[in-house]
Structure 1
Amino acid sequence: MLFATHLLAAGLLGRRLRLPVGWAVVGAALPDLLDKPLASLGVVDLFHSVGHSALLAVVVLPIAFVGRAGVAAALGWSLHLFLDAFHVIVNGRAGDALFLLWPLAIPPDPLAIPPGEFVFYYLWSPSFFVEVAIWAGAAALALRAVHERTAAA
């Protein structure tokens, strides 16, 4: 999934669950904010590593006990991982979902495409259309909210 879609999905879910939306968005941003620079600098070989590992749950999930902000951040992080795993599976690369077990397991043939190039690879893939549907749904919700506000005024 593209970075902006992770943020949008976390914001929508946070709002739906009446959690602090900003913290949900921060949690959703963390995997990419951690892993993309590490891979770009050559510290790790994969763009889905430390921040995308479900094993990091031992650190992230206790944050949920900090309060509603912690719950929102942990939820955003978890949603990011779910969406990325869903994305690779829908695109026919189920083996790439092994990133969830990094460093214990590594995808056998991971896409080693930097984020900028990835966008061109991703366009018109099956999960690209899932993202289009997410954005269309968000736009419909926003338009409905505007309509309801203007009708109430």
Structure 2
Amino acid sequence: MLFLTHLLAAASVGRWSRLAPLWLIVGAALPDLVDKPLAMAGVVDLYHTVGHSALVVPLAVAAAYTGRTGIALAVGWGSHLFLDALHIVVNGRPGDALFLGWPLVTPPTPLAIPPGEFFVYYLWSPSFFLELLIWTVAVGIAVSDLRRRSAARRPDSDEQ
């Protein structure tokens, strides 16, 4: 999934939960903020490594024990991993979801392409259309919320 969609998903979780949206968004951003620079600097060969590894779950659990902020960070991070795995499966590459087991296992045919090239590759894939659906629903909900709030602030014309 694209980076902004991860942030949108985390903000959506914040809308329907009692967790702080800011920390959900930070947690959802972490995997890419860790892995993309490492790969671009040549430290690792793939763009899904330590930040995208499910083997980091013990750290997420430890963070969750620090309180609501830690829970929000862990949930945001987990949502990122879930959406990336879903994206890979929807695009017909379920074996590549092995990125979740890095460094113990690596996908058989990982996409080792930088983010800019990935975007071009991603356009018109099945997951791209799933992502369009997610954004369409999110925009629809936002517009509905704005209309409802606007209507709630308007005085009734019958009262005059």
> TM-score range with shorter-chain normalisation?
over 0.9
Residue 67 of structure 1: how far off its partner (Å): 1.3
Partner of 1:121: 121
Q: Which residue number in structure 2 is paired with residue 39 of structure 1? A: 39
Give aligned pairs, total.
Answer: 153
1:146 and 2:146 equivalent? Answer: yes
Distance in 2 (CA, whole Å) between partners of 1:66 and 1:16 is: 22
TM-score by length of 1: 0.98
Matches within 5 A, 1:1-153: 1-153=1-153
Gaps of 5+ in 2: 154-160
Deviation at 1:61, TM superposition (A): 1.6
Percent identity over paired residues: 62
The alignment's TM-score, normalised by the length of structure 2, stands at: 0.94
Distance, in Å, in 2 between the alignment partners of 1:58 and 1:101 is 13
Cα displacement (A) at 1:66: 1.3
Per-residue deviation, 1:143: 0.5
Question: After the TM superposition, which segments of 4 or more aligned residues of structure 1 sit over 3 Å from their partners?
Answer: none
Could you tell me how far 1:69 is from its partner in structure 2? 1.2
What stretches of structure 1 of length at least 5 have no aligned partner? none
1:17, distance to aligned residue in structure 2 (A)? 0.9
Counterpart code for 2:42 = G
Between the aligned partners of 2:143 and 2:120, the Cα distance in structure 1 is: 29
**CA deviation profile, 1:93-139 (whole Å, cap 9, x unmatched):** 11110000000000011111100100000000000011111111110
